[in-house]
Amino acid sequence: LKSNLLLKLEEPPSITPKPSVDFIPPPLTLPLRYELTTTTIQNLLEALDEALRDEKILSLKAPQKPVLPPPEIIPTISAYLMEIENRIDELARKMRLMAEKGEIITFSRLTMGLDRIEMIRIFVILLFMAQKGKVTLWQHEEFGEIYVTLNGEGSVNGNVSC
């Protein structure tokens, strides 16, 4: 009984075709051949007059700005950069005093009580000093305390003065 139902051929359901909606573009305006038009001198003068009026209106709305050459890029040099060597000497003196007292020189001790911009300046000075070989900087872990060792002639309590 059920086997008869399995073998029974069924026709697939009929799908009603949807009406296709074709896009009909708007008609194009064909160019006119000048031989087929009757253009008079008066029509040409009126068209020229209208174009000149439109030009005057546009020129009144947007006055032309003179085109200036781009300014030369001159970096602004702050007084801080001008006196970087003096700041390096001051920081070296401060670190030498800390080393003579037997203190461990850390970035946090060097910047204790300073505002954020001054802390950044001290950090940049330390980078300059490290680049010149006056100090050695190290950290035990990322984002941890930055330790400073003085390099140069003559050591003081394990640290070397500049």
Strands 155-156 and 159-160: antiparallel
What pLDDT does 156 receive? 41
| 96 φ/ψ angles, rounded to the nearest 5 degrees | -65, -40
Distance CA 98, CA 106 (A): 10
Report the SS3 class of residue 133: coil
What pLDDT does 12 receive? 67
**CATH classification code of 80-160:** 1.10.10.580
Domain range annotation of the chain: 80-160
Cβ-proximal residues to 151 (8 Å cutoff; 6+ apart), any chain: 133, 134, 135, 136, 160, 162
Going by pLDDT thresholds of 50, 70 and 90, the confidence category of residue 158 is very low
| Among candidate residues 91, 93, 129, the one with its CA nearest the CA of residue 110 | 91
Do 105 and 99 meet the contact criterion of CB atoms below 8 Å apart? yes
Q: Any alpha helices (H) in 62-154, and if so which ranges?
A: 79-82, 84-100, 107-110, 116-132
Instruction: Answer yes or no: is pLDDT of 149 > 50.
Output: yes
- What are the tens digits of pLDDT across the range 3-57? 666 666 666 677 777 767 777 778 887 777 666 677 788 988 998 999 888 887 6
